[in-house]
Amino acid sequence: MKSRRDFLQRAAASALALPFLSSFKTEQYNPEAYGKQYQGPILRVAIMGLGSYGSRVAEAMKDCKQAKLTGVISGTPSKIKDWQSKYSIPEKNCYNYENFDNIKNNPDIDAVYVITPNALHHDQVIRVAKAGKHVICEKPMAINAQEGQQMVDACKKANVKLLVGYRMHFEPKTLEIVRMRKDGEFGKILFFQGLSGFTIGDPNQWRLNKQLAGGGAMMDIGIYSINGARYMVGEEPIWVTAQETKNNPQKFKAGVDETIQFQLGFPGGAVSSCLSTYSMNSLDRFFLNGEKGYAELQPSTGYGPIKGRTHRGELDQPHVTHQTVQMDEMAGIILQGKQPIVPVDGEEGVKDMKIIDAIYQAVQSGKKVELKL
């Protein structure tokens, strides 16, 4: 398997996308509302980085009601030409990495979705903010918390919004578990387990390049278990311990983690045990345990359909293409000030980066690292 994208795409092979409900909330799902006309403002989006995931987002946006693809930014002229033809994008809305600052003069673009290698996010997001456009940044938002905070500060200074591509924050079964936890249906939360991993392929890809990726499996797939622990438990962790295993140092060179087990402690007493790896397949599972019940998602973060159950039975919320929901909901956040059930702002991304920084610190020191998020 070549990459996380391939892993998630394979998990999505049987998915059937439904039309998007613009006002969707898990606890208020109304099948009759599907397909209704949307009369509100449209978020006009340029995608930066026209790789496999950028293509997935573009395809999903065809079904959006509140967001529309209107521009592209790429360093590959042939990709720009292909996207122009496929998505009817005018020449004046096409940019490369040298001239995209000129979007500041383009009224056809309200926001840029940055989908490039991790180490490029910091400078690109800041440039977009200086151009006066809102930013959606794919996760991880940066390669460390310091860079992430600089991105947040730059967007605040420019008076633009910064969102991070946390598509699972809008996923129906995930939100149903969050609702049940908030309503006390699991009782006191005791334990969370997150398993995130697959066997990565091409050893020459950018995800195994420390300079571009900022790390290894933890940056790419482990962040799902980090973020999932936070929204499933419903608290911010206060300490972390971690252990690294590296069986293939030729493929996973210095600074590129192969497998890390990590543990998080929460102020209410709950603990989590998580695994992040590039060397094992079939790892995509969340499990939440409380005094009164439990919840399980497997697959938990693939493109869908997500499958889940709780002590009350199977979860049957509908599958909707994740990126379609994400982009419509983010349009509502940017243009209408909507408040998501689980945050997707830059501050949310910085918290995950602080935990990743602490995990790497714990691996190196072998000691428990205190967290202050």
* Backbone φ, ψ for residue 170 (5° rounding): -115, 5
Round to whole Å and give the CA distance between 50 and 58: 9
User: Do residues 30 and 39 touch, judged by C-beta distance below 8 A?
Assistant: no
Residues with a known catalytic role: 139, 224
Q: What is the DSSP letter of 138?
A: P
Q: What are phi and psi of 277, to 5 degrees?
A: -150, 150
Report the 10 Å Cβ neighbour count for 256: 21
Q: What DSSP assignment string belongs to 212-239?
A: HHSSSHIIIIIHHHHHHHHHHHTS---E
User: Within its chain, how far is the Cα of 348 from the centroid?
Assistant: 11
What stretches of 4-148 adopt beta strand conformation (E)?
43-48, 67-73, 94-95, 111-114, 134-137
Q: What span, in angstroms and rounded, lies between the C-alpha atoms of 43 and 66?
A: 6
Token pair belonging to 278: 């590039």
Beta-ladder partners of 162: 135
**What is the residue-wise DSSP string for 282-344?**
EEEEEEEEESS-EEEESSSSSSS---EEETTEE--PPP--HHHHHHHHHHHHHHH----SS--
Domains and CATH numbers, the chain: 28-165 (3.40.50.720), 168-318+344-370 (3.30.360.10)
φ, ψ of residue 369 to 5 degrees: the values are -115, 125
10-residue mean pLDDT series, the chain (373 residues):
52 39 36 64 98 98 98 98 98 98 98 98 98 98 98 98 98 98 98 98 97 98 98 98 98 98 98 98 98 98 96 97 98 97 98 98 98 97
Give pLDDT, residue 348. Answer: 98
pLDDT at 35: 54
User: pTM for the whole thing?
Assistant: 0.91
CA distance 361 to 243: 10
How far is residue 266's CA from residue 276's CA, in Å, rounded to a whole number?
20
Tell me the two tokens of residue 248: 């293939």
Closest CA to 165 of 118, 198, 99: 118
| Tokens found for residue 93 | 């809305």
d(CA 274, CA 259): 11
Q: How far apart (Å, rounded) are the C-alpha atoms in residues 172 and 268?
A: 26
Report the alpha-carbon angle 290-292-296, nearest 5.
Answer: 55
For every residue of 158-178, DSSP letters joined together read: TT--EEE--GGGG-HHHHHHH
Kind of pairing between the strands at 189-199 and 259-265: unpaired
Collapsing DSSP to helix, strand or coil, 370 comes out as strand
**What pLDDT, on a 0 to 100 scale, did the predictor assign at position 37?**
81
Helix (H) or strand (E) holding 272: strand 271-277
Beta bridge pairs of residue 100: none
Is there a contact between 324 and 311 (Cβ–Cβ < 8 Å)? no
